Structure 1
């Protein structure tokens, strides 16, 4: 499978000097576009994560029978963009208080999840959630419902979902944040 934006084969493992992050923040089309636009991001893909169900299809995920979330996987150069920078983009570009939905997209596949690839990512994610909750609370938002869990498996979504908004510039993107900027300490 070739990446429509980066014009190379989609990879799901980082090369030397690169790191990996996996997030779910609603519909994966808009999430992937958000991240592929960032300096230092060298690869993105969309897929299904957050469940032990093996080899799910889009139809199964949408039917709610697999427990997967629509996820974006990001391979990045940490000398250009940090994991903390990616977390800031994650928090600011969706509403992490909505539970099993983002806007009009409703279902378990649209939930907010950070899938930590190691203990450092887990700790940074938990700290950022606490910090962002304080900012949201000050603006009257309810509690964050974002799950933070250890990364287990990631299944690439079907080819037509990869870089969907590059192939279909007028395609649907239901992403919208809360308008609360994440000011990191």
Structure 2
């Protein structure tokens, strides 16, 4: 894990969040169906990312949150300081019998610019970095393979190098209730998702 100097202390108890998904009514919290797997993805502001994945067939439920840093149970305001080390991310709970990890990764790569480092468009800061946090070795292998394949496509298109972090998930912290399914509650809200126009090969 990357260590962030001066990381905020955080807290011992979770912050308040929602219990159920505002769109499909399913629980945001485990236990999830036994057949489901979990992957955590960061592509910039989590509002549009969550919308992108809850619309994906085979995804059981999604939740906005913070991961990849050090501060326990951070708030949105703390994460935005850059002193928690966390990225804005979305927990994607999916049924691999319905949607493959390759399909989810293709959606991930094609819907943001993974070459921008600590930013996504006009959103600047380490909380907006591109990140894949896995819960299974097979997911990590698939992510690394898809990154290599997408890099080849990006390079052929004259684009830069991928800066996406790929590593096992240590801890996911749920974001505040008002962030959960934000664009369902605020249809005219901000969505910063913007791909490169480059297609990602799939296995």
TM-score, length-normalised on structure 2?
0.89
Q: 2:46 aligns with which of 3, 20, 28?
A: 28
Matched residues in 1 for 2:74 and 2:103: separation? 30
Matched residues in 1 for 2:30 and 2:198: separation? 31
CA contact (8 A) 1:14 1:20 kept: no
Q: RMSD of aligned C-alpha atoms?
A: 1.0
Matched residues in 1 for 2:26 and 2:141: separation? 33
CA contact (8 A) 2:38 2:134 kept: no
SS in 2 for 1:169: coil
Are positions 1:101 and 2:141 aligned together? no
Per-residue CA deviation, residues 138-161 of structure 1 (Å, 9 max, x unaligned), is 000010000111110000000000
Q: 1:46 aligns with which of 61, 64, 77?
A: 64
Shift of 1:14: 3.2
Shift of 1:76: 0.8
Shift of 1:83: 0.9
Per-residue CA deviation, residues 27-74 of structure 1 (Å, 9 max, x unaligned), is 000000000001111100000000121010000000111010000001
Shift of 1:13: 4.8
Determine the structure 1 residue equivalent to 2:28: 10
Written as runs of structure 1 = structure 2, the 5 A alignment for 1:84-95 is 84-95=102-113
Unaligned ranges ≥5, structure 1:
none
TM-score, length-normalised on structure 1?
0.97
